Structure formats: C-alpha cells, structure tokens
A and B are shown apart, each in its own frame.
Chain A
Amino acid sequence: MAKPSERVITIPRMGTLQLMLEDMFARLDVKYIMPPPSTAKTLEVGVRHSPEFSCLPLKVTLGNFIEAIEAGADTCLMAGGCGPCRFGYYAQVQKEITKDLGYDVDWIVLEPPKKGFISFLRTFKKMAPHRSIRYIWRQVLISFEKARHYDSIEKRLLHNRAYELEVGASEKAYTEAIDILRPAVSKEEIAELAEVALKHMDESVAMDKTKDVLKVGIVGEFFMLLEPVVNFDIEKWLGERGVMVDRAVYTTDWIAPSLANQVGGLSKEEVSKYADKYLSHTVGGDGQQTIAHTVLYVEEGFDGIVHLMPFTCMPETIAKSILPKVSKDLDIPLLTLVVDEQTGKAGFITRLEAMLDMMWARRAAKAGHDDWIPAGAGTH
C-alpha cells in the first residue's frame, strides 16, 4: 500500500462527478487516476465479480474501480451512507470483493456529514495529509460551487437540445461551455466564467424557440439518471426528437440534497409537500423524490414522465408500486424503464417511441382533435 502522501486516488464514474473531483483534487494536490469512461466492458467486469442480486450501480462502479486499479490507482474513494438503503454498504462489499480478487488497495469511505461532521472532514485529510482541515474545507466548498455551475450547464443542454436546428450543435456547445468554465479557480472567476459558459450555450447554437416541443420529466434512482452508460443516454435520444427534457436530480443535488441552490433537486419540505398524498414517508434512496418530482412535473404542465430504475432497486420498486395510481389520478403518461445488465437499448427505444406517439396524440386531443388516448396506456 502507498504512503498517504503518495496515494493515487480513484473514484467511480457518475455523470459530472468527474468534473468536480478533478477540480478538487487539483486544488488539494492529490494524485489521481480517473477510471476510463464506463463501457459495456466495464459493466461486464463489474457484473462478473458482483453478487448476483446486488443492484446495478454497485456492479458498474465496481467495474470502474477494477479498471482504475488496473490503470495504476491504489486508493479507492467511495461514498458511504447510513441507511435505509443498501448504498451504505457498497464500499464494504466492493472492498471485500477487490480483496478477494487479490488487489492490494486502500479504501477511503466518505460517510455522510450527518454521521459526524468532524470525521467527514478528517476523511478529506486522508487524501491531502499535509493540508490543514480548514484549507481543505474551503477548497471543497469552492469546488462544489463550481460543480453547481457544471450542473446548470448540463441542465441547459437538456432544455436547449429540443430546439436546435442542427442535430448535435447543443452537445458541441456543451463541451465548449465546460471548457470555458474548467480553468476558473477563484470564486469570482467561477461566477464570471459560468455566466459566459451559459451564454455560449444559448448563443452559439442556432435554435428555433417557436418550435412545438414535448416536455418530458425524468425521475428515478440517481445513478440511473446521472450515468449515460446505464440509461442509454435517453436524454439525448429524446432531445434529438424534439423533446425538452428535465431531470429530477443533478450530481450536486445528490451530493448535498438539503442545501440551497439546487439545480434540479427538491428540499425535504418540498418532497413532503408533493409526495405525501401518495407516499408520506421516506423509503431510502430516491423513492419518495420520484413521487414528488412526478407530481411536480404534472403541475408544471409536462407531457409525460419517464421513470428509470435498476432492477431489484428497493426504493424505486416501492415508487413503481405507487406510480400507476399517481399516473391515473393525475392523468399523465408514465413509462417505467427497469435496467439490468441484460437490458438492451432497442427495447427501450420501441417503448419510448410509443410514448412519444401517445403524447403527441394527447396534445392533439387537447387542442380539439378527437384521437384521444387515455393516460396509463403507456404504463408498464
């Protein structure tokens, strides 16, 4: 095992998490290796070594760790948790597995601050042993603020893509916008460059804002929402078919669910306000949020909801048991997509296409045409 100051840290891949941690590690002079982008092979490696019935995020992130260790990382940084869902044991399970595979690596588990703020901070110090806790914390906060902006830029992409005149133009602008913000170091620079980046998203792409678009909200388990390799990048698929997409959670919302300035997330009070009629208690993971966001999207006039979840996910199975009632009561088309390692993109696309047809038909019906299709017809 490496000496603390010579560690080479790695993390699992998940949406924009890389961007945030690259920035943070640079500030703290931490050596790191990012796992290569998740591919079908990553999934295969993860699945091969995971317990059969563990949930997909555990398997994919295990694949990330193994690939990064093979590439030279010697310390795995993983988030912890204190229930009620099994996410809190991922790190321990993955540690056992990598040990059994003969990898000699250290694990740093970042338990949530509510388990003790000081030990939360000390965990960071393990990564940067020569820095003061005070300094580390300041840098973490700045990095986090920057990450909020990364998320806002991504959100803009999901909204704008539906209006682009040339397919792929928003995506290109997104990559450029991230590069604009990336070099920002101080708080002032971050604020300034974030504004430039967002402006770039809006102004460098030719868009037809008068276009009639469908609005679809994506809800479900956070990892499924944030990591394109497991959701087959359906946001892109929808966007390119003229659908304005909004997502219930962004990386920073997940990291700090109760703080202000959420990009897509809801506060505890809001979750309760929108979900309680159907699910009046947290059920771990994102189960109650899924219900809350669904209700809120309906209030905001969305045309349909896509619910994404890993196979065997407990909180989302609870949500899935309740969503048919929500869909019926609120008259909103809803499609639950359950993903496991055998899921193929083709099946998803067929069902999404059917849903698009139905949403357009409902639009037409509302506008006075007669081909009305009842809500719930796309629910599975």
Chain B
Amino acid sequence: MAPTVGLPRALLYYKYHAAWDAFFNHLGVETVTSENTSKKVLNIGLKASDSEICLPVKVFYGHALDLGEKCDYVFIPRIVQVEKGSFTCPKFLGLPDMIRAVDNPPEIISPTIDVRNGRHAIRDAALEVGRMFTDDEAKIVKAYKLAMKALRKHEKDLVKENIEKTPIEKLKSLIGGNEGNKEPVLRIGIAGHAYNIEDPYISLNLIQRLKDRGIEVVTPENVPMKKIKKAAKDAPKDLFWNYERDILGASYHWVKNKVVDGIIYVVAFPCGPDSTIQVFVEGYAKKEGPVPLMSIVIDEHSAEAGLVTRLEAFVDLLTESKLSAQGV
C-alpha cells in the first residue's frame, strides 16, 4: 500500500491546502485530511496540549494526533516567513517541535518554509519533502509548480474585486432573503484568522449565522492584496507579522473606504498577535470611521448563547445607525 500523509484541518491548512493537495497528488502520495473540528477532536487536543496555549493550536493538536493514528506521516511544515521581513506567529515556528514533545508522537514531515533561505527556498523545501517519496526530481519540481499554481488560483478565487463598487442597495437582490423587508441590507467585515473564522466549530458558526440573517459577510481573504498592503501603510509601525498585516490591512481598508457597516474582530484566547493588532484596528475604526466594531474572544468554554445575544445586539445597533443615516 502506498504511504499516506495526513493533513491536519487546522491552522494554516485553511490558507495553503490547495497547494498541499496538488503537491502530494501529483506525486501520487495519498493524503488524508482530518475531519471537521468536533468535540472529539477538541478533546484530544485539550488533553495533549498545554492549558495556556491558544484555542486554534489546541485544536491543531487534536487534528494532528488523530491523524497520527491513521497515517504514516503527518504534514506539519514549519512556516517561518512567506514574505521577506515578516514573520508568521511564533507558534508556527515551534509547531512541529510542540507536537513531537507529546507522548507517542506521530511521525512528522516538517519542511521549513522561510523565504530568507534563498530565492528557491520554497522549491527546495518541496524537494526535501518529495524525495521521501520519489527519486524523480523533475516530477517533484513539477508537483511544486502545480502546487503554487493551485494556491494562486485558490487565492484569486477568494478575492472579491468589486465589493466596494456594489452599491449597498443592490446587494438586496444579490443575496436575497430581504425582499419586502424594510430593514437595510448590512455588510459586515469579519476580521480574524481564516483558521478561526472559517472553522464553524471554533467560531460557533459565526459566518453562517450572519448569512442566515441576510447579512453579507466579507473576510480579509476577499480583499485584494494590493489594497491590503496600501491600507496597512497607515499602521503605526510596519507590521512584521504577515497574517496580521492582512487582517489589519483589510480592516483599515474597510474602514477607510466605508465599505462595511460594521466589523467583528474574532480573537482566539490567548492570541498574542491579535491582542496587539486589535488595539490598532479598534483605534483606527474609531478615529477614521467611525465604523462600529465588536470584538469576540473565543476559547474552549465559549458558549453559543452568549455569542447569539451579542450578535443580536450588534446587528440591531448597525441596523439602527444605518436607518438613521438614511433618514428613516
């Protein structure tokens, strides 16, 4: 039987899975992606991880250890810098070592992704991984190219170029569900890491809840990179965190160009980068908007009831201020 590689459906999987799938596929390596986060997965994570670690990393432990039981290898790259000069979170720098420190750790594939390691840093990392499965270097390089292509396509598909150009009233017909209703259509920007806001279990289904109410939701990944980078220049200091730069840039962009009615900042407890960036985003939303902003802190004890109440209140607030702005 061919060897299997497990891909934990957590953390940076949400950003890079298109590339990982394409890469292993072309090499003929079978991949197993872990199931959606569930109580079971979380419990495995809670048991194996340190109590002080942030929620998504606890969840990651759950996915990785669960896969360890089912696959030959678990794929946990050490993602250090994907853009020169800006880091990911410290947790991603230590992730493979953290998983290795548990009792009975799975066998881990952990290439280092650090663009400071030369012009071909990522290709070299791909070669290192590929050689575990084949001697055909040309095939690995091809797999790497396909992976990058898949990633770029995935990222492009997520971008919604024309968000700001869509007159908010026209949205009604686009998203439906609001016909005949006097309430204005709302658009809310969700600031936060993809692995938190896109994971329904971690985020208590936040995005779907909003959509069910006929609210349009946008996330940082919908904002074109050019606009993110431009808006991020307003930050009090050049951001040395890549993913947080994206969150901050997207939020600044939403505020500056008044393209959302409100922002919900989703922070996992205890997240170092977000707790820092949050200060800047909140200040900016207040001074440059003002755009109403609500922060939601999530941990393993977060309860649905609390979230629902706060969401209701926030949506009511946005609705009212929109109505009064429209002179209703």
Contact = CB atoms under 8 A, between A and B. Distances in A.
Interface of A: 51-55, 82-86, 88-89, 92-93, 95-96, 100, 278-285, 287, 311-315, 317-318, 320-322, 324-325, 338
Contacts of B269: 53
Contacts of A280: 97
Given A54-B276, A318-B98, A321-B101, A283 B50 contact: no
Interface of B: 49-50, 52-53, 78, 80, 85-91, 93-94, 97-98, 101-102, 112, 236-237, 240-241, 267, 269-273, 275-276, 278-280, 283, 297
Nearest to A53: B275
A281 B283 contact: no
A312 B236 contact: no
A89 B241 CA distance: 11
A89 B237 contact: yes
B236 A96 contact: yes
B279 A96 contact: yes
A281 B78 contact: yes
Contact of B90 (A100, A283, A320, A322): A283
6 contacts: A89-B237, A281-B97, A287-B90, A317-B52, A320-B50, A321-B50
B229 to A, nearest CB: 18
B94 A279 contact: yes
Contacts of B98: 318, 321-322
Nearest to B61: A321
Given A54-B275, A312-B272, A84 B94 contact: no
A100 B280 CA distance: 12
A144 B320 CA distance: 60
Nearest to B99: A321
A314 B276 contact: no
A95 B236 contact: yes
Given A93-B279, A96-B236, A312-B270, A279 B97 contact: yes
A54 B277 CA distance: 11
A3 to B, nearest CB: 24
A318 B101 CA distance: 10
Given A53-B271, A279-B97, A320-B52, A314 B91 contact: yes
B93 A283 contact: yes
* Candidate in B49, B88, B241 with the most chain A CB atoms within 10 angstroms: B241
A322 B101 contact: yes
A315 B278 CA distance: 20
Nearest to A276: B97
Contacts of A93: 276, 279
User: Which 6 pairs from chain A and chain B are nearest by CB?
Assistant: A83-B240, A84-B87, A53-B275, A318-B94, A312-B270, A284-B90
Given A283-B90, A321-B98, A85 B272 contact: yes
Contact of B241 (A51, A83, A321): A83
Contact of A84 (B78, B241, B283): B241
* Candidate in A84, A86, A278, A283 with the most chain B CB atoms within 10 angstroms: A84
Contacts of B89: 84, 314
Contacts of B297: 53
Contact of B275 (A51, A82, A278, A321): A51
Contacts of A88: 237, 240
A57 to B, nearest CB: 12
Given A55-B272, A86-B272, A281-B93, A92 B53 contact: no
A324 B101 contact: yes
A215 B236 CA distance: 46
A82 B80 contact: no
A317 B53 contact: yes
Contact of B52 (A52, A86, A281, A311): A311
Contacts of A96: 236, 279-280, 283
A85 B101 contact: no
A368 to B, nearest CB: 32
A4 B168 CA distance: 51
A145 to B, nearest CB: 31
Contacts of A311: 52, 270
Contact of B237 (A92, A281, A322): A92
A281 B80 contact: yes
B277 to A, nearest CB: 8
A318 to B, nearest CB: 4
A53 B101 CA distance: 27
A89 B91 CA distance: 18
A325 B99 CA distance: 11
A281 B236 contact: no
A127 B249 CA distance: 33
B50 A314 contact: no
Contacts of A82: 85, 240
Nearest to B112: A281
Contact of A287 (B94, B112, B279): B94
A88 B237 CA distance: 9
Contacts of A322: 94, 97-98, 101
B47 to A, nearest CB: 13
Given A52-B275, A92-B237, A96-B280, 11 more contacts: A53-B270, A83-B240, A86-B273, A92-B236, A279-B97, A285-B90, A311-B270, A312-B270, A315-B90, A322-B97, A325-B101
A324 B101 CA distance: 8
A322 B279 CA distance: 31
Contacts of A320: 50, 52
Given A92-B237, A281-B78, A324-B101, A312 B276 contact: no
A285 to B, nearest CB: 7
A280 B101 CA distance: 12
A163 B134 CA distance: 63
A324 B98 CA distance: 11
Contacts of B278: 51
* Candidate in B52, B97, B271 with the most chain A CB atoms within 10 angstroms: B97
A83 B94 CA distance: 15
* Candidate in A93, A315, A324, A338 with the most chain B CB atoms within 10 angstroms: A93
A285 B89 CA distance: 12
Nearest to A338: B52
B49 to A, nearest CB: 7
B276 A86 contact: yes
